[in-house]
Structures are given as structure tokens and as C-alpha cells.
Amino acid sequence: MGETSQTFIDIINWQDWIVIAAYFVIIGAIAWWTGRNQKSTADYFLAGRNVGWFAIGASIFTANIGSEHIVGLAGSGANSGMAMAHMEMHAWVLIVLAYVFVPFYYKAGVYTIPEFLEKRFGSKTRWFLSVVSLVAYVFTKVSVTVYAGAIVFQAFLGDTFGSPDNAFWVGAFTTVILTGIYTVFGGMRAILYTATPQAVILILGSALITYFGLTELGAIKDGFDATISGGWQALIDSAKTKAGDFALWRPLSDPNFPWLAILIASPIIGIWYWCTDQYIVQRTFSAKDLETARKGALFGGILKITPVLIFLIPGMIGWALFDANPGKFALAIEDGAIKGDAVFPMLVTTLLPHWIRGLIVACLLAALMSSLASLFNSSASLFTEDVYKKLVPQKSERHYVNVGRIATVVVVGFGIIWIPVMKRIADGGLYVYLQSVQSYLAPSITAVFLLGVFWSRMNGKAALWGLIAGFAMGMSKLTIQSFFGADPDKMNVPVLAQIGDFNAFYCAGVLFAATIAIIVAISLLTEKPAPEQTRGLTYAWLMADEKARAEVKASWTLTNKLFALIILAGVLGMYLYFSFWL
């Protein structure tokens, strides 16, 4: 089957353009209003530490949801059903962030995650994590986010600028530059307060696709009604014909998503991403008090429950529509599988009425711009606070704010420069390996933070060598995976091929266990940390300090407990339902 020859730009009208223009006006006005007075690094990087829980939670959600989520999850849903749902049901980890980590981060008064490591383990660990994080942000997160967004524009704009390739470049450069401008000017305050309308647009726009998709599916499938419930039953009926491919739990023989590997890797990756990554956690640093910081993290967790329902399921709906009526709902087939990037554009162009199509474009822009803005500001925070201030101390706050703005511009520049390289990597088949990076990067960082908080005996030498060894092992696996393996196009060295083809999720568990072993061994063979290196930074200290324990307990309010219960009920409910839905 071939894709429809119409592009999105051909079938939107003045109503859609009004919605798109309104989106830019709202975002621009908020960025200008909030970015007028940026006098200190606390203002620029942490919004003056005076932000409410709603904005924090919305920002956590929008930072996580990029255009690669919307388009990529739809494609994943069309081809592999619920396989990727495990990675999207990490909302429970935000309870870990709020309950375990936020009290230590907030009471430490830090600007960055590496700064927290310095307080606990010394300056060398801060330097190492800062450099690793900066390199990873620029060459993986920024490039992947920009590339995914450009692919969306390529699919939607088609030949509007002469060719799909031109549309790719126009989309990439336009979004990077526009996002860079409001991030440079507005800082974290602009990011936090633009997150609220962006979160509303993301959820509303994606929910509308789910609604229209289900009602349409119910209408065209014999024996079902054109309602949400009718469409849902029609989707289940269609998915049962591919139950093995669409199931949530895959057998151990599955090469990509065996259930045991998913259970091992999911918490490791989730804790790293949601609890220790500057990109996400920085939002909680901006709260006006500890209770607000915890509530903001939990509200982000409530929003995080939605992606399976509004991003992944539409992909399955797209497959079911294509299966029922391939003439109307046309999709390209490559190597026996639906071309994933085409699913979301197909749903938009065939299902939605005018003005809602414009809302979906705004939805995609919100996803792309919010993720990029968060990346730009987090990278600038890491550079200014963890690198520049160390090298050039005792300058004015205004000076450091300007350095932060310059660092943001530099990150934007690197993102632009890296686009052609990223495009070549993706065209060459290595793009998939970038998705494995988190399985190799997360284990050592997760191990260091968990042991650092819960085991007072752990010292700085163990933390540093745990990070170094874990990072070296992970990057070695990624390198071997890139050049060796069963693929006949790679160099066939049997031992290295086995290492390279070893499932990335199982590997995350191996790396996690190996890092823990290294940390424990070095800690027990070297001196204990001094008391000041654990004061205020470990669970044992918290339990021993009655005043601090009372303060932390008081911040875990009834509302926070209710939010946590909502998250647990939502995640557990989805697991129970989708484990037996086919």
C-alpha cells in the first residue's frame, strides 16, 4: 500500500492557521512576561524558587513528552501493540522521586544533580557526571528530539518547500531557533509557565485523535457502533487477530521485549530518568517549599499515566483502520511492517475536522518545543553551575545569568550542527542504537544514587569508580553493538557478536549489578566517609534527626498521599487490564 499523496499542508485551512497562530501568540506572550526580570541564577535556572505545584508537574510532563513520543509511540502501537507500554507506565517512579529523593535534593539547596553528588561524594564525581550529562544531552537527546521533530514536518509538509528533504530542514531549523530564542530570553520561568498550556494542548489534542479514531473504527467495522465503547470493542476484535504481536507481556524467547528483561530494566531506567536526571528533576528545585516540590513531582506522575491511552493506543487504532479499509486509511509497508512515522500523520489527515488539525500541529509544536527548551536550559544549568562557576568563581549573579544565556545559544548551535550527522546516522541504520543508550547509561547512575542515599558507608572513591566503570562498560557494549553482531553487514567476530547482540534490557540489569558490586567492594576496602559527607544527605541521617524527620513527614500531606494513590491505582489498573485485554 502506498501513502496518501496529500500532505497535511494541502488540507488545512484558515481555521487551522488561526489556531496555530494563537498557539505562538500565547507561548510568546508568556515567555515575554515571565522573562522580563532575570537578575540571578536562581531566577534564570530555578525561576526564583517560587513556583507552584501545577506548573512543576506540567513541566515535568511536557519535558518528557517530545514529538518522538507522539509520532514514535503511534508507530510502535501500530507495529508492536502494547510492547512499549512498560516504558510509558513509569508514573510510579515519580512517587519514588517525591517520597525518597526530593527531600534530600531540596534540603541540600542545590541547583543541579551533579552538585548534590559533590556534597555527598566530592568534586570529582560532580565533574564526571556533569561532563557525561552534557555530552549525552547535546549528542543524543537534543539531536534525537530535533531529528524526530524534523521527520514530523517532513511527513506533514511534503513538497511545500520544494521537496520533503527541504521540509525536513525547514522544520528542524525553525523549531530549534524559535525554541532557542524563548529559552535564552525567559529561562526556567518561561519553560515552567509555558508548560501549562503546552500540557493542555498535548493531552487535549491527542485525546481527540483517540476519540475520533475509536468512533470511526466502530462505524466501519461490522457489528459495532460508532461510539467510543463500540470502537474500543472493535479495536479488541481486530487486535485479537495479532494477539502475539499486540500483547503487553512477551515470552522469554522474544528477541526485543522478553518480559523478564523488561521487569529488570524498567525500574533501573525509570529511576535514572525520573529521579536523577537534571533534565527532569530541575523542575522540583524551583518549588517554593518542600511540600510543593513533592506535590509537583506527584502531579507530573498523574499526567504521566496518560501517554499509553493518548499516544500508544492511537497507533493501534491506525493499524485497525488500515486493516479494515486500506483504501481510505492508506499506509506504507516496509519489510512487512507498517511504516511507523506515517501512522500519526495518516490519523490527522483522515480523521480530524478543520481547526482540530491546527490544534494537532500546535500539539506537535508543544511537544517538540517544550522538550527542546528543557534540554537547552538544563544543559546551560549544568555548564554554568558545575563547570564555569568552578573555573571562574566569585563573579556577579548578572554575569552568571549572561553565561547561562550564552551557554544556551551554544547548545542550540551544537544541536543545529549535529542535525546533518544525526540524519546520516539515522539513514545508515544506527538510529536504533541511540535508543539503547539509556539502557547502558542508566545503570551506574541509578546504582550510585540509590546506594548513596540508603547506604551511609558508601564513600567518594566508590562513587567515582562506580560511575567510571559503569559508563565504560555501557559505552563498550554500545560500541560493540554498533560494529559487530549477527547482521551480515557487520564484522563477524563470534565472541563480540554475542556481546553486541545481547538484549539491551538484560544488559541494563547486568551493568546495574556489576556497578553495585564495584561500589560495595571499594567502599568496604577504603575509609568511611566523614560525618559531614552524610549529614542531610542519607536516609540514616534523616531517621536519626528528629527535627528533619518531622519536617519531611509534615510535607507528605494528605493531598500528596492522595496523588500517590491516584498514580498507583492508575498504573496498577492499566497493568491489570492490558495483561488480559486480548
- Contact criterion met (CB below 8 Å) for 409 and 184: yes
Model pLDDT, residue 3: 42
Buried/exposed code over 129-157 (b: 16+ C-beta within 10 A; e: otherwise): bbebbbebbbbbbbbbbbbbbbbbbbbbb
> Could you give the angle at the alpha carbon of 521 between the alpha carbons of 518 and 523, nearest 5°?
105
Alpha helices in 455-502 (DSSP H): 460-483, 494-501
pLDDT digits (tens, 9 = 90+) for 410-459: 877 776 776 676 665 554 443 444 556 788 989 999 999 999 999 999 99
Model pLDDT, residue 174: 79
Please tell me the distance from the alpha carbon of residue 466 to that of residue 519, in angstroms, as a whole number. 6
List C-alpha distances in Å: 569 to 24, 243, 492, 574.
36, 26, 48, 8
Please tell me the distance from the alpha carbon of residue 329 to that of residue 357, in angstroms, as a whole number. 17
Reference 187, options 367, 41, 304; nearest CA is: 41
Please tell me the distance from the alpha carbon of residue 363 to that of residue 206, in angstroms, as a whole number. 8
All domains of the chain in start order, with CATH: 8-431 (1.20.1730.10), 436-544 (no CATH)
Model pLDDT, residue 486: 62
Parts of the chain with a pLDDT under 50: 1-5, 427-433
Place of cell 567492594: 521
Model pLDDT, residue 5: 44
What is the DSSP annotation of 242-272?
GHHHH-SSB-TT-SS-BHHHHHHHHHHHHHI
Place of cell 572513591: 461
Residues 248, 254, 257, 261, CA torsion sign: positive
Model pLDDT, residue 35: 67
pTM above 0.85, yes or no: yes
Per DSSP (E only), the strands in 268-350 are 333-334, 337-338
Query: Which residues neighbour 575 within 8 Å (Cβ) at sequence distance 6 or greater?
Result: 89, 248
Reference 340, options 88, 66, 143, 151; nearest CA is: 151
- Contact criterion met (CB below 8 Å) for 201 and 180: no
- Contact criterion met (CB below 8 Å) for 54 and 302: no
- Report which residue type is found at 480: I
Residues 345, 351, 354, 359, CA torsion sign: negative
